[in-house]
Amino acid sequence: MRIHELLNKQAIDLNASVSSKMEIIDHMTGLMERAGNLYDRQGYKEGVLAREEEGTTGIGEGIAIPHARCAAVKKAGLAAMVLKDGVDYESLDDEPVELVFMIAAPEGGGNVHIDALSRLSTMLMDTEFKETLLKAKTPDDFLQIIDEKDDELDGKKKQKALEIPKDGYRVLAITACPTGIAHTFMAAESLEQKGKELGISIKVETQGADGPKNVLAADEIKTAECIIIAADKKVDLARFDGRPVIITKVADGIHKAQELLERATSGNVPVYHHDGAAAGETDSETENESVGRKIYKNLMNGVSHMLPFVIGGGILIALAFLLDDYSIDPANFGKNTPVAAYLKTIGEMSFGMMLPVLSGYIAMSIADRPGLAVGFVGGLVAKAGCTFANPAGGDVNAGFLGALFAGFAAGYLVLALKKATSKFPQSITSVRPMIIYPVFGILSGAVTTTLINPFVGMINDGLTGLLNSMHGASRVLLGVVVAGMQSVDMGGPVNKTSYVFATSQLAEGNFEIMAAVMAGGMIPPLAVALCTTFFKNRFTKKERESGLVNYLLGLSYITEGVIPFAASDPLRVIPACIIGSAVTGGLSMFFGCTLRAPHGGIFVLPTIGNPLAYAAAILIGAVVGCLVLAVLKKPLKEGENQ
Helix pair angle (182-198, 257-264), 10° resolution:
60
Helix pair angle (338-352, 354-367), 10° resolution:
30
Taking every pair of C-alpha atoms in the chain, what is the biggest distance, in angstroms? 80
Distance CA 278, CA 258 (A): 28
180-189 in b/e burial notation, b at 16+ Cβ within 10 A? bbbbbbbbbb
For residue 150, the one-letter residue type is D
Distance CA 74, CA 484 (A): 41
Distance CA 411, CA 369 (A): 10
Distance CA 547, CA 526 (A): 9
* Residues designated catalytic: 67, 177
How far separated are the first and last CA of the chain, in Å rounded?
Answer: 42
Q: Which ranges of 385-540 does DSSP label H, i.e. alpha helix?
A: 399-420, 431, 441-469, 473-485, 493-506, 511-534
Distance CA 258, CA 198 (A): 8
Q: Is 86 helix (H, G, I), strand (E, B) or coil?
A: strand
Q: Is 289 helix (H, G, I), strand (E, B) or coil?
A: coil
Distance CA 337, CA 500 (A): 32
Length of the chain in terms of residues written: 642
Residues 116 and 103: beta-carbon distance below 8 Å: yes
For residue 33, the one-letter residue type is E
The strand pairing partners of 106, in sequence order, are 70
Residues 62 and 86: beta-carbon distance below 8 Å: yes
Distance CA 43, CA 33 (A): 11
DSSP 40-52: -HHHHHHHHHHHH
Distance CA 3, CA 9 (A): 12
